Amino acid sequence: MTDSRILSNVKDAELVEKRRSQMIKGAITLFKEKGFHRTTTREIAKASGFSIGTLYEYIRTKEDVLFLVCNAIYERFRERLEAAIDWNSPPVANLKRVITAYFQLMDDMQEEVIIMYQEVKSLKKETREYVLTKERDMVSMLENVMVTCLPASSSRQDATLLANNIFVQGQMWGFRRWMLQKQFTLETYIERQIHYVLQALAIADPGQAAAQTD
Amino acid sequence: MTDSRILSNVKDAELVEKRRSQMIKGAITLFKEKGFHRTTTREIAKASGFSIGTLYEYIRTKEDVLFLVCNAIYERFRERLEAAIDWNSPPVANLKRVITAYFQLMDDMQEEVIIMYQEVKSLKKETREYVLTKERDMVSMLENVMVTCLPASSSRQDATLLANNIFVQGQMWGFRRWMLQKQFTLETYIERQIHYVLQALAIADPGQAAAQTD
Amino acid sequence: MTDSRILSNVKDAELVEKRRSQMIKGAITLFKEKGFHRTTTREIAKASGFSIGTLYEYIRTKEDVLFLVCNAIYERFRERLEAAIDWNSPPVANLKRVITAYFQLMDDMQEEVIIMYQEVKSLKKETREYVLTKERDMVSMLENVMVTCLPASSSRQDATLLANNIFVQGQMWGFRRWMLQKQFTLETYIERQIHYVLQALAIADPGQAAAQTD
Amino acid sequence: MTDSRILSNVKDAELVEKRRSQMIKGAITLFKEKGFHRTTTREIAKASGFSIGTLYEYIRTKEDVLFLVCNAIYERFRERLEAAIDWNSPPVANLKRVITAYFQLMDDMQEEVIIMYQEVKSLKKETREYVLTKERDMVSMLENVMVTCLPASSSRQDATLLANNIFVQGQMWGFRRWMLQKQFTLETYIERQIHYVLQALAIADPGQAAAQTD
DNA sequence: CATGAATGAGAGTTCATTCAT
DNA sequence: CATGAATGAACTCTCATTCAT
C-alpha cells in the first residue's frame, strides 16, 4: 500500500505506512483550511504529530505531501463508489444507486473535492497526470454502469458523456452548494439529476422517486 | 471602467485604466502558465512592461492583481454571453444559440476558466464573494433563457438546475478536454448536450442537429 | 534668511523662503507624530501643500528637510530666550526671569525638543555639528546671565556648569513630564530649580517665590 | 533570564539566552554606529555571527531586537548602580558614592545612553512603557538614597527632584561631553555636581572633595 | 529513526529620487 | 516653476530543506 513513487529514507515499510497516514490526515485538515500554498511544512509536521525533521524522513519535498493527499482522497472516492455497485441488481436500479452514492459522497467530502480541484495543478506534470488517471477511473466506473442501461437507440458515446455529466454535477454540488441549496436539498438534487439522465437514456422514470424506491 | 475597489496612487483615470489593462494581460499569461502563487510580483511587472515600483503605483497588494484578473475575465465572459442572446428570436432557437455561444466561449477561454477555478479561493472572503456574484450572474443569464423554453409540465426549478448543469458542463469542456476530445469535437459535444437539455425540457429535438441548423 | 547651505533649483529667494516655511511647518507636524524616519517625503510634500516634484525643487535630499527643521526650531528657541533677557534689570531678577522663560519655552515646545533630541543624530556629521553650535549658543546665553550673578567665592566654571544644568533640566521637563507632573506643576518645578541654583550660587533666596515676584 | 516577552521558535532556553546575547552585542555595536533605523536586520544577523534565517528564529520582528537591546542596557545600568549602594555606610557617604558610581557609569556607557535616548521612541507604545518603567526604577534608586540624607527642613519633593536632576545630569555627561570636557574632567564634574546637591540639601560640604575622601 | 537549529534564496512591499511634460 | 508617473535598490520577513546530534 505504501506509495513507492514517493521516496523515503526510512526502510521499515509498516512505519512508513503509519507515518504517511498521520501526515495525510494532518495535511488534509490544513489544506481544507488554508490551501496547499498557504500551509507550511512545519505546520504539516506539527499537525501530523512529529517534527519537521521526521517529516522529511518520509518525503522528499512538500509537493510529495500534496501527491499523497490527492492519492489518498481518490482512493477513498474509489472505495466508496465501488462499494455502491452491485452487478447483480437490475441495471437501472444499479445506476440509480451508484449515482445516489456518488452524489452523497461528494456531499460528505466536499472539502476534499475542493482540495483536488484547486491544488492538483500544483503537482508537476508527471505526477499530475498520474492523479488524473484516477479521476478517469472514477468516470469509467460511472460509465460502465451507465452502459448497462443503454437502450438500442443510444450510442456508447452517450454513456461516456452522461457519465462525465454526472461526474461534474456531483462536483458542482460540492463546489456550488452555496448557490444550489436555496432551491434544493441533496435528495431533491439527486432525484432531479437522475431524472434527467434517465430521460437522456430514453428510459421512462415512472415514480420520479430516488434510487432507494427500487 | 477603472475599478475603484482597488486603490491606486496614480490619479489619472485613463492612465490607470491603461496600465491595469497591461497588468491584467501580463498577469493572465503568467497565471495560465504557473498559477497565482508561483507567479511573483516582479514577473507580473515585467510581463506588464513596467517596473516593480510602477506596478505598486496601481495596486496595493499582489492579491489586487488577482482580483483585477478575475474581474476582467468575468467581464469578458459576460459580454460575450450577452451578445449571444436575442430576445426576438424563437425561444428554443435562442436557447440553442446561447448554449452554443457559451460552450464556444469556454473553449476559447479554457485557460481563463482554469484560473478562475483554481485561484478564486486565494482572494480574501469579501473580495471572493464579490467575484462569485458575477458567476451567479452568468448562471442567471442562462437560466433566464431557459425559462422561456419551459413547458407547462416543468417547474422553474428545472430551469435553475439545467442552467447550472450547462454552466458546469461548459467548464468541464474547458477543464477536461483532455478526457473528452478523444470522443468529441466541440461541435458534437455541443450538439449532444443541447439534445439532453431539450429532452429534459420535454422538447422534441427533430434533427438532433446543432444550433446553427435553426 | 533663506538658508543657503541647502541648495535649491529655484532662484527666486523670496519664493524659496516661502516654500521652505511651508515645508518646515508640515514636516514638524509629521515629525512630532511619527519621527523623521517614519515620515516619507511624499507625506512632507502633501503636508506642505505641494507636490513631491516641487518639494525637490527646494531641497536636495530628505535630510535637508531635517536640517531645516532643526535649524528653525533652534531659531525659535533663541528668539524667545533672547527676548527674556533684560540687561538693565538687577542680575538676580534677570536670572530668574530668564530661567523661568526658558522652562516655559521647553513646556510650550516639548515636542520640538523631542524632535531635536531624537533626530539630530540622523544628520550627517558636518550638518549635525552646525546644529549643535546653536545649542551651544543657547547654553551660552544662560551662562552669560548666570555670570552676572556670580559671587566672589564662585568660579566661572560654576556659571558654565549651572547653565548646563539648567539647560538639561529644561529639557527634562519637556522629556520627562510624565514622571514629574505627579508631584510638580510647571510653576513649582521652576520655583524649586531656581531655588537650587541660587543656593549653588550662595545667594539667599528669601521668599522662595517664583521669578515674577521680583 | 531569557526574555519571554519576545517569542522564539527555538525551545532550548539556554540556547535562546546565548543567541540573544550574541544578538544584543552585535546590535549594540551597530546601533551605536548608525542607529536603529539605518541598521538592517541582515547586518544584525551578520554582526551576531549567524544568518538572517537564524536571527528570525529568535525574534519575531526587527523591533524585538531594539527591545532586547534597551532591556539589556537598562539591566546593566541597574546592576551597576545597585552594586554601589551600601545601606550600612553613613547616608551622605552613601549618597556621594552612588552619585559617583552613576556618573562613572554614564561615562563608561555613553553610547548606550545615546541609543536609549534616541531609539526608545521607535518601540511601540506598550513596549516603550515597559522600558520606561526601568528608567523610573533607576531614578527611584537615586531618590531612595537621597531621602536618607534629607534634613528636617526639606520635603520629600526635594529628594524626588534632586534625584531627577542627578539622573539627567548624568545623561548630560554622556550626551554632551563634547561641550563639557573643555572645562571639566569626569572627576571635577562629579565633585561639583555633588557639591550642588549637598548645598541643596543644606548639608555643609567641608572639603569640597569628591566621594572618595570619606 | 527522531529531532530541531541552521540556512539563505527569494518573496512582497516601500520610498527617496528623477525627469519629461 | 510645478507636476506626478516612473524607477529600482533596498528593506523586512518567510519557509522549504538540510544535517549534526
Q: What is the pTM of this model?
A: 0.89
Set out the domains of chain D in order of their start, with CATH numbers.
67-201 (1.10.357.10)
Distance CA D159, CA D154 (A): 8
Cell numbers standing for residue B144: 433566464
User: For residue C211, is pLDDT > 70?
Assistant: no
Cell numbers standing for residue D187: 572627576
Nucleic strand F contact set for A 107-146 (CB, < 7 Å): none
A79 to each of A16, A141, A146, C150, how far by Cα in Å?
22, 11, 18, 102
Nearest CB partner across the interface for D118, out of C118, C161, C189: C118
Angle between helices B62-84 and B91-108 (to 10 degrees): 150
The torsion angle over the Cα atoms of residues C175, C179, C183 and C184, rounded to 10 degrees, is 10
Greatest pairwise CA separation for chain C in angstroms: 61
Report chain F positions within 7 A of protein CB atoms.
Answer: 1-20
Q: Which residue's CA shows the smallest distance to C1' of F7?
A: B53
Phi-psi region of C51 (alpha: psi -120 to 50; beta: other; left: phi over 0): beta
Question: How does pLDDT run across B155-204, given as a tens digit for each residue?
Answer: 899 999 999 999 999 999 988 888 899 999 999 999 999 999 999 998 75
Question: Between chain C and chain D, how many beta carbons pairs sit less than 8 Å apart?
Answer: 87
Distance CA A192, CA A196 (A): 6
- Return the number of other C-beta atoms located less than 10 Å from residue D170's C-beta: 25
CB A105 within 8 A of CB A77: yes
C204: confidence class by pLDDT, cuts 50, 70, 90 = low
DSSP reduced 3-state for A7 = coil
Cell numbers standing for residue A58: 518520509
User: Residue A111 burial (CB < 10 Å; 0-12/13-18/19+)?
Assistant: middle
Cell numbers standing for residue B152: 407547462
Cross-chain Cβ contact D164/C183 below 8 Å: no
Cross-chain Cβ contact C196/D121 below 8 Å: no
Distance CA C149, CA C198 (A): 9
Amino acid at residue number A122: S
Report chain E positions within 7 A of protein CB atoms.
Answer: 1-20
User: For residue D132, is pLDDT > 70?
Assistant: yes
Nucleotide nearest to B41 (CA to C1'): E12
> Per-residue b/e over C80-116, b at no fewer than 16 CB within 10 Å?
ebeebbeeeeeebebbbbbbbbbbbbbbebbebbbbb
Chain B residues with CB within 8 Å of chain A CB:
35, 37-38, 114, 117-119, 121-122, 132, 136, 139, 157-158, 160-162, 164-165, 168-169, 171-172, 176, 178-180, 183-184, 188-189, 192-193, 195-196, 199-200, 202
Chain C residues with CB within 8 Å of chain D CB:
35, 37, 114, 117-119, 121-122, 132, 136, 139, 157-158, 160-162, 164-165, 168-169, 171-172, 176, 178-180, 183-184, 189, 192-193, 195-196, 199-200, 202
Q: Which residue's CA shows the smallest distance to C1' of E9?
A: D53
Chain A residues with CB within 8 Å of chain B CB:
35, 37, 114, 117-119, 121-122, 132, 136, 139, 157-158, 160-162, 164-165, 168-169, 171-172, 176, 178-180, 183-184, 189, 192-193, 195-196, 199-200, 202
Distance CA C211, CA C95 (A): 8
Distance CA B73, CA B117 (A): 12
Distance CA C21, CA C33 (A): 19
Neighboring chains of A (3 or more beta-carbon pairs < 8 A): B
| Nearest of A10, D39, A58 to residue C37 by alpha carbon | D39
Provide, as residue numbers in chain B, all residues whose Cβ is less than 8 Å from the Cβ of A183: 157, 160-161
Residue with cell 417547474: B155
Cell numbers standing for residue D84: 554601589
Neighboring chains of D (3 or more beta-carbon pairs < 8 A): C
Residue D209: the pLDDT is: 40
User: For residue C197, is pLDDT > 60?
Assistant: yes
Provide, as residue numbers in chain D, all residues whose Cβ is less than 8 Å from the Cβ of C103: none
> Per-residue b/e over A59-74, b at no fewer than 16 CB within 10 Å?
beebebbbbbbbbbbb
Q: Which residue's CA shows the smallest distance to C1' of F9?
A: B53
D51 to each of A41, C201, D48, how far by Cα in Å?
21, 58, 9
Distance CA B91, CA B147 (A): 9
Chain D: residue whose CA lies nearest to C115: D118
CB D150 within 8 A of CB D158: yes
Distance CA C19, CA C57 (A): 10
The C-alpha angle D141, D145, D149, rounded to 5 degrees, equals 155
Provide, as residue numbers in chain C, all residues whose Cβ is less than 8 Å from the Cβ of D132: 178
Residue B211: the pLDDT is: 38
User: Residue B124 burial (CB < 10 Å; 0-12/13-18/19+)?
Assistant: exposed
A90 to each of A87, A158, A196, A214, D161, how far by Cα in Å?
8, 20, 19, 9, 100
Mean pLDDT per 10-residue section of chain B, whose length is 214 residues? 87 95 96 94 97 97 96 94 94 96 95 89 90 92 94 88 96 86 94 94 58 38
Phi-psi region of B121 (alpha: psi -120 to 50; beta: other; left: phi over 0): alpha
Question: Between chain A and chain B, how many beta carbons pairs sit less than 8 Å apart?
Answer: 88
| Nearest of D117, D107, D11, D3 to residue D65 by alpha carbon | D3
Cross-chain Cβ contact D162/C196 below 8 Å: yes
Q: How far is the CA of A63 from the C1' of E4 (A)?
A: 22
Q: Which residue's CA shows the smallest distance to C1' of F1?
A: C10
Residue A174: the pLDDT is: 86
Which long-range contacts does C142-146 make (Cβ < 8 Å, 24+ apart)? C142/C81, C142/C98, C142/C99, C142/C102, C142/C166, C142/C167, C145/C85, C145/C91, C145/C94, C145/C95, C145/C98, C146/C95, C146/C201
C-interface mutation test, from D40, D116, D121, most C Cβ less than 10 A away: D121
Name C108's Cβ contacts closer than 8 Å, sequence gap at least 6: none
Residue C213: the pLDDT is: 37
Q: How far is the CA of B122 from the C1' of F20 (A)?
A: 39
- Return the number of other C-beta atoms located less than 10 Å from residue C208's C-beta: 11
User: For residue A65, is pLDDT > 80?
Assistant: yes
User: For residue C206, is pLDDT > 60?
Assistant: no
Average pLDDT of A93-117? 94
Cross-chain Cβ contact B164/A179 below 8 Å: yes
Distance CA B189, CA B103 (A): 9
Distance CA B94, CA D162 (A): 94
Average pLDDT of C68-75? 94
State the smallest CA–CA distance between residue A174 and chain B in angstroms: 12
CB A130 within 8 A of CB A75: no
Average pLDDT of C63-84? 94
Phi-psi region of A49 (alpha: psi -120 to 50; beta: other; left: phi over 0): left
Angle between helices B62-84 and B41-48 (to 10 degrees): 50
Distance CA D96, CA D85 (A): 10
Cell numbers standing for residue A121: 495543478
User: For residue C96, is pLDDT > 90?
Assistant: yes
Cell numbers standing for residue A113: 473535492
Cross-chain Cβ contact A183/B160 below 8 Å: yes
Question: How does pLDDT run across D71-129, given as a tens digit for each residue?
Answer: 999 999 999 999 999 999 999 999 999 999 999 999 999 999 989 888 988 999 989 99
- Return the number of other C-beta atoms located less than 10 Å from residue D103's C-beta: 23
| Nearest of D193, D198, D191 to residue D158 by alpha carbon | D198
What is the Cα Rg of chain D in Å?
Answer: 20
Distance CA C105, CA C83 (A): 12
Cell numbers standing for residue D57: 528564529
Distance CA C43, CA D38 (A): 20
Cross-chain Cβ contact D139/C179 below 8 Å: yes
Name B107's Cβ contacts closer than 8 Å, sequence gap at least 6: B173, B174, B186
Average pLDDT of C203-213? 47
B–A touching, 3+ CB–CB pairs within 8 Å: yes
Name C177's Cβ contacts closer than 8 Å, sequence gap at least 6: C110
The C-alpha angle A173, A177, A183, rounded to 5 degrees, equals 100
B41 touches strand F (CB under 7 A): no
Question: How does pLDDT run across A174-202, given as a tens digit for each residue?
Answer: 888 888 999 999 999 999 999 999 999 98
B-interface mutation test, from A103, A168, A191, most B Cβ less than 10 A away: A168
Residue D213: the pLDDT is: 37
| Nearest of A106, A192, A96 to residue A148 by alpha carbon | A96
Provide, as residue numbers in chain A, all residues whose Cβ is less than 8 Å from the Cβ of B103: none
The torsion angle over the Cα atoms of residues D155, D160, D161 and D164, rounded to 10 degrees, is 160
Cell numbers standing for residue D137: 526604577
Nucleotide nearest to C12 (CA to C1'): F1
Cross-chain Cβ contact D184/C161 below 8 Å: yes
Nucleic strand F contact set for B 2-31 (CB, < 7 Å): 9-12, 15, 19
Residue A85: the pLDDT is: 94
Question: How does pLDDT run across C121-166, given as a tens digit for each residue?
Answer: 889 988 999 988 999 999 999 999 999 999 888 889 999 999 999 9
Question: How does pLDDT run across A120-160, given as a tens digit for each residue?
Answer: 889 999 899 998 899 999 999 999 999 999 988 888 999 99
Provide, as residue numbers in chain A, all residues whose Cβ is less than 8 Å from the Cβ of B195: 200
